[in-house]
Copies of this chain bind each other. A is one copy, B any other.
Amino acid sequence: MTNSSKFSASEQAAIYRVIEARRDVRKFRSDTVADEILERILRAAAHAPSVGYMQPWNFIVIRDRKIRTQIHDAFQIANDEAKAMFSAEQSERGEAYSKLKLEGILESHLNICITCDRSRSGKIVLGRTCQADMDLYSSVCAVQNLWLAARAEGVGVGWVSIIKPEDLHAILQLPEHVVPIAYLCVGYPEHEFATEPELKTAGWLPEIPFCEFVFHDKWGQK
């Protein structure tokens, strides 16, 4: 079976390269993402790990202009509120925030909302008995799978988190037990994929040296 087989050095290199080359894309061309590519990246998402094999995800593929305009309006309101928060903290921070392009809801070929159905597979879920958010995390793993598969296909993905969950609930008619995890803009990027995160390039925050992330045996121990 293919699953038990090994990965060659060149295959490993491709896997590491896609992990490093994945970017959050905010500027899109309007070119169509072919249906077979869309299906491949959604199937990759569905191969994510899930707590207790719950498979709590759904993928809402959004093409309708009216719905996307409603989502964009919801983004604008949340973004204005965010801008005000940064301005209140420090006026230059508010200005820098205003200059960033943070979404491509209308320009991208399509949008995808990845959700988590908290009621799926019943009340008691293996592996979720004392960590209640594990189902949300499963859906996040699906997002990351989709993102990497899309990058391999040359398709850009941008995660827009500046929308109130209650607005997503209302616009996408989500049932109460369904949590919107990620609202994604999906399409071909306007330019080449950037070589580093845009917020690093823009000087928003610096890259943290890798060695600072690693501890041994307990918190803070180097």
Contact = CB atoms under 8 A, between A and B. Distances in A.
A17 B140 CA distance: 20
B130 A208 contact: no
Q: Name A's interface SS.
A: mixed
Nearest to A15: B152
A38 to B, nearest CB: 9
- Classify chain A: how many residues form its interface, as a range: 35 or more
B48 A23 contact: no
Contacts of A204: 52-53, 126
Q: Which residue, A17, A102, A128, A144, has most C-beta atoms of chain B within 10 A? A: A144
Contacts of A78: 129-130
Interface string A44-68: 1011110111110111111110010
A195 B165 contact: no
A63 B217 contact: yes
B137 A46 contact: no
Interface in A1-47: 1-7, 10-12, 14-24, 40, 42-44, 46-47
Given A78-B129, A82-B126, A171-B218, 20 more contacts: A4-B194, A11-B14, A11-B17, A12-B152, A12-B153, A43-B210, A52-B199, A53-B200, A58-B213, A59-B214, A60-B216, A60-B218, A82-B130, A85-B124, A86-B126, A126-B204, A131-B162, A148-B148, A173-B219, A173-B220
